[in-house]
Amino acid sequence: MNWLFPLSKGSGSLPPLNSLQQQRQRQIESLKSAHPSLAEIQKDVEYRIPFTVNNSTISVNILLPPQFPQEKPVVSVYPPVGHHLVDSNNGTMITSPLISNFGMHSDLGKVIQSLLDEFWKSPPALMSAGPAGFSYMYKPSGMAPYPAQSFHYGARHVGPSQTPPPGPGPAPTPMPHPGADGAHGPPRAPAPYGLISDLPLPVPTVDSQLSDMSENEDVLLEFFVSLPQLKQVTTDKEELVTNIVDMAKKNLQMEPQLEGKRQEMLYKYEQLTQMKQAFETKMQRQHELSESCSLSTLQARLKVAAHQAEEESEETAENFLEGRTDIDEFLTSFMEKRTLCHSRRAKEEKLQQSINTHGQFPTSH
């Protein structure tokens, strides 16, 4: 089959890709991963994405120039449609800013997905009659021709007379268009897609899918099970259950430690209660002692004690005058009580002076 692809020579190792080719391959991989229904028309050059809207199948055709991604891709649709993202002159060329502003750092897969989303939001309208002779991949004027791989292919089966001679030699002459081939029956009308005339659409229409699902519950169940959203929900559920089980195990492992801390806290709280009661008792005792040792209280007590000593001295004097005590006993007892009385009165007066100067509770220095 090497005669179909003149660019592939021999079976030796291919030269390493340069930076531009590596970026080109990354853009193609992004396109393939973002669109599973992508059909490869010509490897690394032409691609097609069919999508169905309003019961009509429209193909988005993507042509990658030789210097892609330095050059922006050429994106068109077939059949011709009317849409604000499509050139109104031919109804095929997409003129979206996403394409016209495409650069080295753009993502081809995301750009095409954005275009498809816009087509879903605002469905394009099929034009009544497209331009005559419209080919599958429209190439704008002024674009350099592509390598020799892009000639029209012939019939699918190659006969004995069409077997190429082995070894190197001149490249075979491109086959005529299938519409003009008269050797295999009556002439056929030119295929609307041009490059590959009878390439089927890779996806069925919406009507056929709905019909299969309504008639066969197994197909509907298989489609439902294969939904990525359901798979994601199942995965999230399994991860959540696993996390809950792990957290429950950790909680059970920490239960003895938590119980020990709880008992320790109860013991500390009981100690706090006892200390609080002892503190309140001592505070009450301190308040009582403070009241009993105040200056006014001491003054009152000194006054009472001085008055009591004075009365006792007078009683001793009366006993002496009445002859109930002798003179020696009188002198000893009377002098002692009078001395005590005067001493207490002196202390009372000094305390009163201190109260008048410093107040009820003087501060100690």
How far is 173 from 176, CA to CA, in rounded Å? 9
State how many domains the chain has: 2
In a domain, 365, yes or no: no
In a domain, 75, yes or no: yes
Q: What's the pLDDT tens digit per position in 38-52?
A: 898 988 899 999 888
- 197: amino acid identity, one letter: S
Q: CA dist 346 to 301, 331, 335, 354, 355, Å? A: 13, 22, 16, 12, 14
- Contact between residue 325 and residue 316 where contact means Cβ atoms under 8 Å apart: yes
Domain boundary among 96, 126, 156: 126
How many angstroms separate the first and last alpha carbons of the chain? 116
Q: What's the confidence (pLDDT) of residue 359? A: 66
- 161: amino acid identity, one letter: S
In a domain, 312, yes or no: yes
Q: What's the confidence (pLDDT) of residue 228? A: 87
Q: What's the confidence (pLDDT) of residue 256? A: 92
- Contact between residue 69 and residue 220 where contact means Cβ atoms under 8 Å apart: no
In a domain, 335, yes or no: yes
Domain that holds residue 90: 19-126
In a domain, 60, yes or no: yes
Domain boundary among 101, 126, 151: 126
In a domain, 210, yes or no: no
Encode 292-335 in three state secondary structure: HCCHHHHHHHHHHHHHHHHHHHHHHHHHHHCCCCCHHHHHHHHH
How far is 218 from 201, CA to CA, in rounded Å? 24
Q: What's the confidence (pLDDT) of residue 311? A: 87
* Look-up of token digits 């509770």: 361
Backbone angles phi, psi at 105, to 5 degrees: -100, 10
Does the pTM surpass 0.85? The reply is no
- Contact between residue 42 and residue 195 where contact means Cβ atoms under 8 Å apart: yes
In a domain, 182, yes or no: no
Instruction: Give, for all 365 residues of the chain, the pLDDT tens digit.
Output: 344 444 444 444 566 778 888 888 888 998 888 888 889 898 889 999 988 877 778 889 999 998 888 888 999 988 888 888 888 777 788 888 888 888 888 888 888 988 888 888 888 888 764 444 444 444 444 444 444 444 333 333 344 334 444 444 444 444 444 444 443 444 444 444 344 334 444 444 556 667 767 777 887 888 888 888 888 898 999 999 999 999 999 999 999 999 999 999 999 999 999 999 999 999 999 888 877 777 778 878 888 888 888 888 888 888 888 888 788 888 888 888 888 888 888 888 888 888 888 765 555 44
Q: What's the pLDDT tens digit per position in 190-211?
A: 444 344 334 444 444 556 667 7
In a domain, 238, yes or no: no
Element (H, E) at 215: helix 206-215
Domain boundary among 76, 99, 126: 126
CATH of the domain at 37: 3.10.110.10
